A and B are shown apart, each in its own frame.
Chain A
């Protein structure tokens, strides 16, 4: 397993601004993922972040809106840019372990007003 922390745990932001979410893991991992969970909905993959290469984005998500950094094997950030109320969601990072299991951080609850 892995222990994952996220910062901030929640935030309320004005439309048009940007928020950077941090994800820290207690061990080195190759693959990290960023998901979005809209209110009352399931999880949708935003992008996959492999250390040392550009993030791979899912259909409907673009780098200009959700830039991701992966500077080392224990850390990643997701930025939500030029926010609108439709970006209000829980953002979760996850990591993949050697047995293809994924473990999730506690999430960042974002409200855009």
Chain B
């Protein structure tokens, strides 16, 4: 079946450190891939997306590249800030109306100053 696997958390970093959160997927077909972020006490916000192989999504200094050969969509940021502390979810869906998102388990990021 279709699934998303994320690295276990929590991830604890100092401010300005480099961030990588690993995400791999299993899918029958060609999904679109997403990263969502959930700040404490809030709902999910779409952070970035990629719809086909080799696409790079980027937003707010975060990047992720759709790698079909390794079925991965790792999230990276060159220099994290305390305000980036949140839970990050990798997700996939198929480009058909009414298809729900399949989420990974989420990775908690904690950044200290």
Using a CB–CB distance below 8 Å, which chain A residues touch chain B?
Answer: 1, 30-31, 33, 41-43, 45, 48, 50, 92, 94, 96, 100-107
The docked-state distance in angstroms from the alpha carbon of A92 to that of B95 is 21
The docked-state distance in angstroms from the alpha carbon of A43 to that of B90 is 11
The docked-state distance in angstroms from the alpha carbon of A102 to that of B95 is 12
Residue among B93, B96, B100, B101 with the most chain A CB within 10 A? B100
Q: Which of B22-30, B40-48, B71-79 contacts A (4 or more CB under 8 A)?
A: B40-48
| 7 CB-based A-B contacts, threshold 8 Å | A1-B46, A31-B98, A41-B105, A100-B32, A100-B97, A103-B46, A106-B42
Using a CB–CB distance below 8 Å, which chain B residues touch chain A?
Answer: 32, 34, 36, 42-46, 49, 89, 93, 95-101, 103-106
Q: How far is the CB of A38 from chain B (nearest CB, A)?
A: 11
Contact residues of A: prevailing secondary structure? strand
A41-B105, A42-B104, A48-B100 known; A102 vs B93 contact (CB < 8 Å) = yes
The docked-state distance in angstroms from the alpha carbon of A96 to that of B93 is 11
List the A side residues contacting B100 at CB < 8 Å: 33, 45, 48
List the A side residues contacting B46 at CB < 8 Å: 1, 101-103
List the A side residues contacting B104 at CB < 8 Å: 42
The 6 residue pairs across chains A and B that have the minimum distance between CB atoms: A106-B43, A104-B44, A45-B100, A107-B43, A42-B103, A42-B105
User: Of B43, B89, B93, B105, which contacts A100 at CB under 8 A?
Assistant: B93
Q: How far is the CB of A15 from chain B (nearest CB, A)?
A: 25
User: Of B45, B95, B99, B103, which contacts A43 at CB under 8 A?
Assistant: B103
The docked-state distance in angstroms from the alpha carbon of A94 to that of B99 is 12
User: Of B44, B93, B99, which contacts A92 at CB under 8 A?
Assistant: B44
The docked-state distance in angstroms from the alpha carbon of A45 to that of B106 is 15
The docked-state distance in angstroms from the alpha carbon of A50 to that of B96 is 14
Q: How far is the CB of B39 from chain A (nearest CB, A)?
A: 11
